[in-house]
Amino acid sequence: MAKHDVDITVALPSGTELPAYWQACLDELHDRYGGICAYLAVFFERTTGAGSVDHFHPKSLRPDLAYEWCNYRLACSAINSRKWNSTNVLDPFEVKDGWFYLELVSGKIFPNPQLPTSLQEKIYKTIKRLKLDNLAHNELRARHYQYYCEGWISKVFLEKYSPFVWKEADRQGLL
pLDDT greater than 90 at residue 5 = no
Range in 46-50, 120-124, 126-130, 150-154 with the lowest mean pLDDT:
46-50
Q: Is residue 146 domain-shared with residue 74, that is, in the same domain?
A: no
Q: Is residue 79 domain-shared with residue 104, that is, in the same domain?
A: no
Q: Name the β-bridge partners of 75.
A: 52
Domain residue limits at 38: 2-83
Confidence of residue 2 (pLDDT cuts 50, 70, 90): low
Number of domains in the chain: 2
The number of helices, as runs of H, and strands, as runs of E, in the chain is: 6, 4
Q: How far apart are CA 116 and CA 114, in angstroms?
A: 7
pLDDT of 21 reads: 84
Q: How far apart are CA 162 and CA 146, in angstroms?
A: 12
**Residue 65 belongs to some domain of the structure:** yes
Give this prediction's pTM.
0.89
Using the Cα atoms of residue 3, residue 4, residue 7 and residue 11 in order, give the sign of their dihedral: negative
pLDDT of 141 reads: 98
**Residue 156 belongs to some domain of the structure:** yes
* 156 Cβ neighbours under 8 A, 6+ residues apart: none
Q: How far apart are CA 62 and CA 70, in angstroms?
A: 13
Of residues 23, 129, 14, 123, the one with CA closest to residue 66: 23
Q: How far apart are CA 24 and CA 120, in angstroms?
A: 36
Q: How far apart are CA 20 and CA 98, in angstroms?
A: 35
Confidence of residue 16 (pLDDT cuts 50, 70, 90): confident
pLDDT greater than 60 at residue 1 = no
Q: Is residue 149 domain-shared with residue 105, that is, in the same domain?
A: yes
Q: How far apart are CA 131 and CA 170, in angstroms?
A: 24
**Residue 88 belongs to some domain of the structure:** no
**Residue 11 belongs to some domain of the structure:** yes
For the chain, give the mean pLDDT.
Answer: 92
Which of 31, 50, 83 lies at the terminal end of a domain, its last residue? 83
**Residue 166 belongs to some domain of the structure:** yes
Alpha helices in 1-64 (DSSP H): 26-32
Q: How far apart are CA 49 and CA 40, in angstroms?
A: 16
CB 132, CB 40: distance < 8 Å: yes
Q: What percent of the chain has pLDDT over 70?
A: 94
